[in-house]
Structure 1
């Protein structure tokens, strides 16, 4: 089975994440998309993150009506801070019959050469890249690599930061979230302080 791994803090998961995941599930050769909730991204402040359990629960709520999209807490069990290369090795060992690929935005591809052991990742795994609004002059070093697939997915520019900031301001951002995720955030009074 071909599994696409879509990593994120999902703080919170929003319709943009679902649009990309569903597009990959329906319009690529991937059989399933696993939404891998990352416990701590070294580039983000830990204090700004909701508890791991709550973010995982929101991914469960957002994906339960999508049979090809599954939540994953695989990184919760690994030493932190964790690197993608370690997660991939762990998954390959745990699920030897699955073939794992990465899903990332074009913006992440630009800095991919800075990832720990990126050559190993590229040697062993395919990468599916969805477009992001970016400067046309930017040269993507790896764009023509045979294991990198540029997917003509919709460009979705919704940021979790924008959602959190506007919940705090009392703005109505409900259209940007799956209804069950909004209900969970509202019920638990998240992002209001």
Structure 2
């Protein structure tokens, strides 16, 4: 079985997240995609982060796909770092081929993730194009360091079965939505209610 792992705060989940999950499911020929809704991102301020149960429920409503599931498995494992989640899952599911999925905007900061090189060495990575993040992430530190392990997009269907490190950059349907922008709009609407 091949399962894509798509981690994030999903605060809030939106159509761009759905497009990334479905693009990866189809293009990588995965059996499933699991959204790992994190209890808190170590690289972000989590003070205003809504409760995990709320974000999980919102992600489940948004996805509504039989092969894509939003999970709180990181909280159940007691971890917040990608490497720890991958280590846990690969140790407990040795017959499953996991692929880490991220939006292209995350590739630009991937080198700041804890144990990022070990993440790349533990599971293949699929980077899905996002508006405004098509070219600059490819010159980022991690992309350059991993450049010799990049797999042509035309061979992406076999990524789950490749020995890591291996990664590909996928193009597909995109959305301009972002959680940051949606939170900003909500805050603005609350600050200036209509009369």
Q: Does the TM-score normalized on the shorter chain lie above 0.5?
A: yes
Displacement of 1:8: 1.0
Hey, what does 1:131 align to over in structure 2? Answer: 129
Instruction: Give the TM-score normalised by the residue count of structure 1.
Output: 0.78
Hey, what does 1:5 align to over in structure 2? Answer: 5
More helix by share: 2
Displacement of 1:158: 1.1
Per-residue CA deviation, residues 152-192 of structure 1 (Å, 9 max, x unaligned), is 12332211122122233349xxxxxxxxxxxxxxxxxxxx9
Hey, what does 1:52 align to over in structure 2? Answer: 52
Report the aligned-residue RMSD: 2.2
Gap runs ≥5 in structure 1? 172-191
In structure 1, C-alpha distance between the alignment counterparts of 2:66 and 2:134, rounded to whole Å: 35
Instruction: Give the TM-score normalised by the residue count of structure 2.
Output: 0.77
Hey, what does 1:154 align to over in structure 2? Answer: 173
Displacement of 1:40: 0.5
In structure 2, C-alpha distance between the alignment counterparts of 1:167 and 1:123, rounded to whole Å: 39
In structure 1, C-alpha distance between the alignment counterparts of 2:109 and 2:41, rounded to whole Å: 15
In structure 2, C-alpha distance between the alignment counterparts of 1:115 and 1:168, rounded to whole Å: 28
Gap runs ≥5 in structure 2? 151-165
Per-residue CA deviation, residues 63-111 of structure 1 (Å, 9 max, x unaligned), is 2x3111111111112335x221110011122322211111112232233
The 1:169/1:116 distance shift into structure 2, 3 A limit, reads closer
